[in-house]
Amino acid sequence: MEKTKSTVDNRSVGRLSKSERRQQLLETARLVVREEGADKLTLAHLAARAGVSKPVTYEHFETRTGLLIELYRWIDTERISAFRSLMAQGNRTANETVSALAKTYLACGADQGDEFHAVGSALAGSEEKAAVYQELVDAVIEMFVEVLRPHSSFRLESLALACAALVASGDALTSAVTRGNCSASEAEEVFSVLIGAVARGKV
């Protein structure tokens, strides 16, 4: 029975489209990082864990660095999507917006934190990683500006700079929570104060 089940599973996997296969590989890569650590994530090991041949993983990512970069982008894009979805509710007051922004950003960061930082550390020194990281940070800054603009009197240029500082602060607080240096509630309280200052700012 086990042999039959395995054959059925393999045939099912074989019918995946290219985009579905890529999704499967990224999900499996994330599991490898979560369960075994980023150092164990190689194209060969990914193939073994995903139940595919080595050429399949090379077709999608070419190199280990390419795999790590795509996984890094995918994890953070998931976080951004979750953040955008949770913040989509409109008609919040300024105080409600500040509270929701602090809570949601830190929660989304904590959900992805360990794996995201592990992959980021594995990419240390990579010029490609630096470019991808900046791309992701810029996307988050734009969302902060979008959320806070209705409540802030900052000029747009100043608000963008302030939001860049907020994103850096939020990431630092997320890291502090992940390392156990503070509680989630403490981080949220501090982040709310910082966001509130921007929301009330006038320049």
- For residue 17, give the CATH number of its domain: 1.10.10
Does residue 87 share a domain with residue 42? Answer: no
The predicted pLDDT at position 90 comes to 66
Residue 52: CB atoms within 10 A of its CB come to: 21
Does residue 173 share a domain with residue 193? Answer: yes
Does residue 182 share a domain with residue 120? Answer: yes
For the domain that residue 163 is a member of, what is the CATH number? 1.10.357.10
Residue 149 · residue 156 · CB < 8 Å = yes
The residue range of the domain holding 184 is 69-203
What does pTM read for this prediction?
0.69
Does residue 201 share a domain with residue 184? Answer: yes
Mean pLDDT by 10 residues, the chain (203 residues): 36 67 92 89 93 91 89 82 74 86 83 70 75 83 90 90 94 86 93 92 60
Does residue 105 share a domain with residue 28? Answer: no
Residue 74 · residue 60 · CB < 8 Å = no
Does residue 91 share a domain with residue 57? Answer: no
Q: Which two tokens stand for residue 64?
A: 């280990």
